[in-house]
Structure 1
Amino acid sequence: MPHLYLVDGSGYIFRAYHRLPPLTNKHGEPVGAVYGYTTMLWKLADEVHAADGPTHMAVILDKSSKTFRNDLYDKYKAQRPPAPADLIPQFPMIRDATRAFSLPCIETEGLEADDIIACYSKAALAQGWSVTIVSSDKDLMQLIEPGLDMYDTMNNRRLGPEHVAEKFFGITPAQLGDVLALMGDSVDNVPGVPGVGPKTAAKLILEHGDLESVLAAADGMKKSKLRDNLIEHAEMARLSKVLVSLKCDVALPEPLEDLELKGIPDAPLRAFLEHHGFKSLIAKLSAVAEAPVAESPVVADMDADEPCKHDDYETVVDEAALDRWITIARHQGWIAIDTETTGIDATRADLVGISLALHPNLACYVPIAHGGTDLLAENPVQIDRAIVLAKMKPLLEDPSILKIGHNLKYDMIVLARAYAATGGVTIAPFDDTILMSFDLDAGLHGHGMDELAATHLSHTCIAFKDVVGTGKSQRTFNEIDLKAATHYAAEDADVTLRLWRRFKRRLPAEGSTRVYEMVDRPLVPVIAQMEMHGIKVDAAKLSRLSTEFAGQMASLETEIHALAGAPFTIGSPKQLGDVLFEKMGIKGGRKGKSGVYSTDVTELERIAADKDSPGAVIARKVLDWRQLSKLKSTYTDALQAQINPATGRVHTSYSLTGAQTGRLSSTDPNLQNIPIRTEIGRQIRDAFVAEPGNVILAADYSQIELRLAAHMANVPALKQAFANGDDIHSLTAQELFGEVNRDTRGRAKTINFAILYGISRWGLAGRLDVSADEAQAMIDRYFDRFPGISSYIVDTTESVRATGFTTTLFGRKTHFPRIRSKIQHERQGAERAAINAPIQGTSADIIKRAMVRMGPALLEAGLPNVRMLLQVHDELVFELPEGDVEAAKPVIERVMANAATPAVTLDVPLGIEIGTGLSWGAAH
């Protein structure tokens, strides 16, 4: 179907004018805006052609400053300052630039560009076309509807109904005109109603439906300044509605068919560029003419990349060279970036240098802290750190330049710390290739740069150990000579850029843009902030717990040795296996290839479950010993060592690609493995504490996976139970066993969750301590009572066998390559994982969306001191002043409860449980 792109030319012109310094062409004419506009339009034409394949395009401009709105209201836009003197003569040249691309340049006397865009949009939609408006103007958001979206090139994002809802407090695009009429616009001099801002306007429209209903209801409102203003300024509100409404009933200046996009022609564009002497763009045009496809970071022939040429990489050691790289980045609009540091912990490592890449093999390394630790050592020539940071900051924050990184969260933290003394830095807009890879290929392979380079580029990256050495001879990166450092660092940026070129075009083609743009990419700076915040731990309490655990382990050792009849090393699988299967004669032992008996958790649980086995008691005690040993080494001992001396807090590291279903994982420490419902787990959580004057707040989704199963499997009984606030496990117990008591409810709870993980009859039998036949009977009864769950499992399994992947409600794909394996246990394992992946993945997507929205919502509510610290499973953990608790609770609950909307509307409510206390444990 035809896809029409309508470019808001005025927005492009002013962005171009302000993004570049004053420039003149060879005729002495000012052309800064012309040059910027030309590069931006060229980039758009290339990129959208690759991403969406538009068939038609036009640039829409304002013909003059006077329109029919000035006849209605002479003050309309009256206070807008005139265009800058050096921009006015560039307007005709910009029209020439548009026509040089063979793009229609449309303007109509008496109408604003927004009205023309509205006319073309409605006409195209009426013929069944798709429409994209290239703008982020709020007035144009009124036009958003099915088939029409907006593209914000400044922030590289698509704008749909969900953006309008987020920006204007829950309203729809169709209601936006009424909201704009009430709130007015000081820039355009739209009067509106005094004292009514965006939030109040949205609230009124949501309550009453439309502007006229609001005005009609004003008399009945309780006495207030708002009521008086609505009554007194009703006519101004109606006038404002006319002023902000877009006129879409005018005949089209040019037929839709004449807007067909036919590619960038050489001759007229070359003539235009040569007239103005735009040498770099002439060179680009020549490269396009010689290349088999258009030269673009997105659509270039991917097989044409030359191998990485390390000797071509530049070491930037003077300011002029750095300025050159930054200028090129500004002109082309994108740059890959990577940081080199003294360590892998972003919250502790020091910045050593920055690498940049503009095109394949066009990469550099900017060292800032190289040199030996010896005071007498001669350090290499490099630009002063403060100068590099000062020059890089505008580039990093420039909204017109896309920053491309791999695992950019790490670089954001490193750079935030580097800029901490000078006011911080915000890196935007950005793309992250590790997330692009994950959203495209989760489950197929890893997403580290080395593996991706080998998989997609057939390139073997320089190994870090080959640069810094290993063992006692290992050095930190700042001690590496600049040539070797440049080869390694610039290669990272080069490879990142090459991966981005491939992944960027795949996202829309493979349906992964939605989850990348709406869920994962916005989460990167949020996670970076959480890691930098960290959380305080009570070292003294941890020390006491370590001592207690050691004592309990010693007691268990004594008991185990007594049961075994002799001392042995409990932590040795070989010695434990010999005791259980040789000395005690337990049947069913299995040996691995090494000849050692397996004593893994499954084997020990099997032995412990056999009450008649002579090893049942010893197996249970070994399991207890192992848990204590793991908790002691992983948490109570390790957490003390992980306290950052500079902050006095522990800073866990989150991975957005660590779990293939989309869940976050964490390391150093791994917070996901703290036991949830045991007393020992609570004791460890008690060691995570708030700073004086603050409290910890824990907000947890209640049974979110069961709620999602009710929605996704369409189970009316479960949906109704959740809507009523019933106890879902009691409902299941009644359905399966005919009565509800402690035993049947416990069994029902186990079954509810186990079914969602595709558990087998044997697995359920083991969990409930019943025979396999009894377990199968329970599964059969469950499916009889809830047939939607059975259908969901069958449909999901058949779908993943056909496609190779599952999909969440937000479009996240998880691949299961072993679903067709000839090895039975591999195939069955893939099937079980596939059954749960859409549910667990959707749950992960929802909590991620809540995390992205949380900060803005808290700021909007006047709660800047509420900080989100941790995300564990279905729970968010905050630290906040005691006095903010009551105000924060409803904000946090609202954001979490509505996180799926408006992208996804669920048939069940999302329940949120919130608790507070001086520690994480106390908040539960």
Structure 2
Amino acid sequence: MEPKQHLYLVDGSAYIFRAYHRLPPLTDPEGTPVGAVYGYTTMLWKLADDLHKADGPTHLAVILDASGKSFRNEIYEDYKANRPPPPEDLKPQFPLVRDATRAFSLPCIEEMGYEADDLIASYARAAALQGWNVTIVSSDKDLMQLVGTCEQGGGKIDMLDTMKNQRIDIPEVVEKFGVPPEKVGDVLALMGDSVDNVPGVFGVGPKTATKLIQDYGDLESALAAAPEMKKSKLQERLIEQAEQARLSKVLVTLKEDCALPMALDELKLDAIPPDPLAAFLGKHGFTSLLKRLDGGRGSPERATQLHPAKPVTAGAAPGEGAARQPLPEMPPVDYAAYECVQTVEALERWITRAHAAHLLAVDTETSALDAMRADLTGVSLALGPNDACYIPLGHGGSDMFAEKPEQVPLDTAIALLKPLLEDDAVLKIGQNIKYDLNVLARYGIAVSPIDDTMIESFCLDAGRSIDGIGGGHGMDELSERHFGHKPMAFKDVCGTGKKAIPFGEVPLDKATQYAAEDADVTWRLHAVLKPRLAEEGGMRIYERVDRPLIPVVAQMERHGIKVDRERLAHLSGEFAEAIGALEGEIHAVAGQEFTIGSPKQLGEILFDKLGYKGGKKGKSGQYSTDQSVLERLAVEGAPVANKVLEWRQLSKLRSTYTEALQAAINPDTRRVHTSYSLVGAQTGRLSSTDPNLQNIPVRTEIGRQIRECFVAESGNVLLAADYSQIELRLAAHMADVPSLKEAFANGEDIHARTATEMFGTVDRDTRGRAKTINFAILYGISRWGLAGRLGVEADEAQAMIDRYFERFPGIQKYIVHTLEQVRERGYSETLFGRKTWFPRINSKNGAERQGSERAAINAPIQGTSADIIKRAMARMGPALANAGLGHVRMLLQVHDELVFELPEGDVAAASPVIERVMAEAAQPAVTLDVPLGVEIGSGLSWGAAH
């Protein structure tokens, strides 16, 4: 009797992306990116070895997605419309992956019009009908619909997740979905899939979908039962979106009757001819694998016996160093090696070399720091250590009679550089490249694809100091930290004070040294930092959250937002009057005039003259008068403390907003263009400067008045989309608090629920207190801080904190567990893998340690919130464009809120798109136990949109 045939179907597309994200960027001898190809090759090699040691297959094929749309796009035009394009350095690797498969002499199957999943399904069913066993090498949830035994042929289908080394059979499918494989499609149809843009039923997550199918048996039965269900949002959505759910079922159902491009018998495994594999490995510089192949003892008997290496000559196993390409030598910086490019011929030579290298560090020199007003002075390029140049474009004195050095005309240089900087096959590396994107965009250049060494460093070392050097992410600090090299300072070439000169007037020899060094150091930093992302788990947050956001934020900065100058001036005058009145009141209580803004004088008034207790002097010998001190004094009955706090707030708002915003209006665009920093907040939140738009009070009347000054252009409106209580929702998920999760799932007033749990009753006072406590606890607030916010004694505040933990023990467990982890590892982590380091978490200094503890408690929650809104921002443009709303502009991001400008007539069409993108932003990387609520409003001003 012949042995039972066993077909293995490898989901090759999944292998490619896994390989790309696991390994550092590598290039072959011709300069082509091959990191994913190397990873794919080693993964295929390992699979073959593992299968040979186990119950190896008799037949095997690798299935890939063909480029182009599938038949599902004819059914639903927006199918997979939200999928971002593959990374630019991955695109040229797709054909090489096919070459790698054929080098193993394995069938490589793809078919236009069908997805790999459909081909896998068709081969699996065809084989099972003939009584073959089938193993699908994948962890794709869609393919789990196929698992089980074929009733007609008797063949059995299971799956193999090679990442977890786990077989997936019927019990594993039931464990994951709560239903057997044949019902998985019903669950998927209800919950939808944001990655493939399968709509599902809005607001129905995995748990709800599973329960519906468990209760009613299948999708059609659940939809039929909807009218009789208890009145709720779920009932409404099932009724209203029934056809959408049916469409989704069609989209997620695998096609099992595709014509098979190769007959089953043609997939039989035979011995591997070593020559094609050796030629492929040698061509692409995979020397460790080539040595492993050469170290074998004759040709393998079958394709899964891939030349086991002799013990003495064995190279590094995949995943244990074989993929590490040695870093290039980093010689000391040699300023004499840099070239000043002053002719078209020299520029064309550098451009030709850059195209061949496929990787280029680039930096711009400008006439000003404001990217929206700066003129381009020059561009520097680097192709390796000391292999750098500077291209002067705007040098010479500002006087029209001043002698100008020889340089390539600006228009000519732009025309030559544009194809290079926009070439998909050349990766452009920058340090804070967002600035360069904005400068070059004003000259018609859309730089892409990009990497940013500043962001790479932030994803690795946020909050961490290394070897005694601070934890900043500026180029100079990174250079000193990683290379021990201190780059030339701007003041060294341009001077300081009254003697300072514009960069365009710096002599070219000095300018070349300074500018080319920037590109050189940036290239070196990328060579060190990018591999670390793969090794230290930073690639996920870099590629899925931060890097895609860079061009999005750059575009937001270029859009800017209009402000009403007259209204600002009027409001500034009102603030000045109120500030003057408060000064008079404070001086009257003090019994003398003094400088309220002087901490030294204020401390002496509060503690020496007025005699308030608890004053503490620092090393400088003066009393502390920070906000926590003033809040404590206010609770203890010092009315002057409240007046000083109010004075400080008004003074800050006047200087930061009503005055600064007027000065910030761009004379050309007549709009304000803030600058966002992607590394400004340790938790990953964006920060903004020039002007800072992040600290406008959110819920106060004063904050509303300032927001009224941000207005839409004539014919347009502003639309504000705000996550509702996102940090509380994340806390409910991350701390696993059933009562809070239930409240959010049911759309309850979360603060009312907390008031009931805390105080036994709900009224305006208890709800307000509950709201304060809900947010304060997540920030690790002290008894003094909570007492100040609630206007109660410290002991009473502590009692409230204790009662909160009694009612919500999961929150306390989360805090304890988080602190234990951070003390042990040194860092916290968001749901998306963003690390924030806390080097002082174990400090013997109590104040330092407690400050780190408070920050560590909140960092995973606030950081996850930041990651989610970043993902929403990156997806927003494509989603709006696919909906025919590409003209809608995203202008601002302020904490949990996004602000858009659009024609008033498009609000109804744009709102659901924006809401969906924001609500589903965590998926598919993270599935939350609570829904993300989004509140949307619109109006002629930002204030009116709330």
Per the TM superposition, whether the score is higher than 0.5 is yes
Q: Tell me the equivalent position of 2:845.
A: 823
Distance 1:248 1:722, change over 3 A: farther
Other-structure match for 2:258: 242
Residue 312 (structure 1) aligned to one of 300, 322, 337: 337
Q: Residue 554 of structure 1: which of 573, 580, 605 is its match? A: 580
Matched, 1:794 2:820: no
Moved more, 108-117 or 496-505: 108-117
Deviation at 1:618, TM superposition (A): 2.2
The aligned residue for residue 45 of structure 2 is: 56
Pair 1:784-2:802 in alignment? no
Q: How does 1:674-713 map to 2 (within 5 A)?
A: 674-713=696-735
Whole-Å separation in 2 of the counterparts to 1:319 and 1:669: 40
Q: 1:717 to 1:255 in 2, by over 3 A?
A: farther
- The one-character-per-residue Cα deviations of 1:408-446 (angstroms, maximum 9, x if unpaired) are 111100000012xxxxx3222211111111111111111
The whole-number CA distance in structure 1 between the counterparts of 2:619 and 2:327 is 45
Unpaired runs of at least 5, structure 2:
1-8, 15-25, 48-60, 67-92, 128-132, 141-157, 165-187, 202-240, 288-315, 465-470
The residue aligned with 2:385 is 360
CA distance in 2, matches of 1:267, 1:434: 30
SS in structure 2 at match of 1:753: helix
State which of 911, 921, 924 in structure 1 corresponds to 2:943: 921
Provide closer, same or farther for how the CA distance between residues 212 and 830 of structure 1 changes in structure 2, counting only shifts above 3 A: closer
Instruction: Give the whole-Å Cα distance in 2 for the aligned partners of 1:477 and 1:743.
Output: 60
Q: Deviations over 1:355-392 (max 9, x none)?
A: 11111111111111111101111101111111111111
Q: Which amino acid aligns with 1:333?
A: H
Contact kept in structure 2, 1:51 and 1:509, CA below 8 Å: no
- Alignment-derived partner of residue 437 in structure 1: 457
> Does 867-876 or 387-396 show the bigger shift?
387-396
TM-score (norm 1): 0.74
Indicate how the Cα distance of structure 1 residues 166 and 385 shifts in structure 2: closer, same or farther if over 3 A, else same. Answer: farther
Counterpart position of 2:544: 518
Task: Measure, in 1, the Cα distance between the counterparts of 2:644 and 2:558.
Answer: 38
Note the residue ranges of structure 1 that are not aligned, 5 or more in a row. 9-36, 68-93, 133-142, 150-160, 173-201, 215-236, 271-291, 420-424
Aligned to 1:251: 267
SS of residue paired to 2:929: coil
SS in structure 1 of the partner of residue 362 of structure 2: strand
Q: Deviations over 1:187-231 (max 9, x none)?
A: xxxxxxxxxxxxxxx9989625655999xxxxxxxxxxxxxxxxx
Structure 1 contact 101–269 (Cα < 8 Å) conserved: no
Alignment correspondent of 1:195: none
Identity in percent: 58
What is the CA distance between 1:262 and its match in structure 2? 11
2: CA distance, partners of 1:4 / 1:42: 29
Task: Give the Cα–Cα distance (whole angstroms) in 1 for the partners of residues 431 and 611 of structure 2.
Answer: 54
TM alignment of 1:97-112, pairs within 5 A: 104=103, 106=105
Partner of 1:727: 749
State the match for 1:717 in structure 2: 739
Within 1, Cα distance between the matches of 2:284 and 2:890?
A: 56
Partners in 1 of 2:101 and 2:358 — Cα distance? 22
Alignment of 1:395-794 (within 5 A): 395-419=420-444, 425-444=445-464, 445-611=471-637, 616-794=638-816
CA-to-aligned-CA distance 1:861-915 (integer Å, 9 cap, x gap): 1112211100001000111111111111111111111111111111111111111
Matched letter for residue 448 of structure 2: A
Distance 2:412 2:749 in 1: 62
What amino acid sits opposite 1:342 in the alignment? S
8 Å CA contact 2:135, 2:160 repeated in 1 = no
CA contact (8 A) 2:634 2:788 kept: no
CA distance in 2, matches of 1:116, 1:730: 50
How far apart, in 2, do the equivalents of 1:379 and 1:358 lie? 28
Give SS of 1:673's match. Answer: coil
Amino acid at match of 1:831: E
Deviates more, 1:242-251 or 1:113-122: 113-122
- Evaluate the alpha carbon distance shift between residue 557 and residue 41 of structure 1 in structure 2; reply closer, same or farther with a 3 A threshold: same
Q: 1:814 corresponds to which letter in structure 2?
A: T
Alpha-carbon distance between aligned partners in 2 of 1:261 and 1:916, rounded to the nearest angstrom: 63
Instruction: Give 1:261 shift.
Output: 8.4
Picking from 363, 371, 387, the partner of 1:346 is 371
| Residue in 2 that maps onto 1:180 | none
Contact in 1 for aligned 2:340/2:389 (Cα 8 Å): yes
Q: For 1:521 and 1:115, how far apart are their aligned partners in 2?
A: 28
CA–CA distance in 1 between the matches of 2:768 and 2:943? 24
Deviation at 1:338, TM superposition (A): 0.8
Q: 1:565, 1:99 → 2: CA distance?
A: 84
Per-residue deviation at 1:767? 2.9
Alpha-carbon deviation of 1:327? 1.4
Alignment of 1:331 with 2:320, yes or no, is no
**TM-score, normalized by length of structure 2?**
0.73
1:663-690 Cα offsets, whole Å, 9 max, x none, are 0000111111111111111111111111
What is residue 207 of structure 1 aligned with on the other side?
246
Do the aligned partners of residues 909 and 567 (structure 1) sit closer, same or farther apart at CA in structure 2, a change above 3 Å counting? same
Match for 2:542: what amino acid? Y
Tell me which amino acid in the other structure corresponds to 1:323: E
Name the CA distance, whole Å, in 1 between partners of 2:482 and 2:280: 29
Q: Is the 8 A contact 1:107 1:116 kept in 2?
A: no
Match of 2:73 in 1: none
Identify which of 865, 876, 879 aligns with 2:898: 876
**For the Cα contact (< 8 Å) 2:451–2:547, is it kept in 1?**
yes
Structure 1 position 129, deviation (Å): 7.5
- 1:767-813 Cα distance to aligned partner (Å, 9 max, x none): 33334443333223222222211211111111111111111111111
SS of 2:379's partner is: strand
In the TM superposition, residue 323 of structure 1 has moved relative to its aligned partner by: 1.6
Name the counterpart of 2:312.
none
User: One-letter code of the match for 1:636?
Assistant: T
Conservation of the 8 A alpha-carbon contact between 2:105 and 2:272 = no
Alpha-carbon separation, structure 2, partners of 1:551 and 1:810: 48
| Cα pair distance change 1:669/1:211, threshold 3 Å | closer
CA contact (8 A) 2:575 2:650 kept: yes
Separation (CA, whole Å) in 2 of partners of 1:357 and 1:491? 9
Which residue identity does 2:45 align to in structure 1? H
Q: How far 1:148 moved relative to its partner? A: 8.5
1:119-173 alpha-carbon deviations (Å, 9 max, x no partner): 89999x98897899xxxxxxxxxx9996599xxxxxxxxxxx999954655599x
CA separation of 1:879/1:401 partners in 2, compared to 1, >3 Å: closer, same or farther? same
Structure 1 residue 590, shift from structure 2 partner: 2.2
Greater mean deviation of Cα atoms: 250-259 or 261-270? 261-270
Q: Distance in 1 between matches of 2:678 and 2:116?
A: 43
- CA change 1:338–1:510 in 2 (3 A) is same
Q: 2:827 aligns with which of 792, 799, 805?
A: 805
- Residues 857-896 of structure 1 mapped to structure 2, 5 A cutoff: 857-896=879-918
Find the aligned partners of 2:938 and 2:674 in 1 and give their Cα distance.
21
Instruction: Decide whether aligned partners of structure 1 residues 776 and 109 sit closer, same or farther in structure 2, where only a CA change above 3 A counts.
Output: closer
Give 1:598 shift: 2.5
**1:75-121 deviation line (CA, Å, top 9, x unaligned):** xxxxxxxxxxxxxxxxxxx9xx9999999264769987999998899
Letter in 2 for 1:464: F
Distance 1:670 1:369 in 2: 31
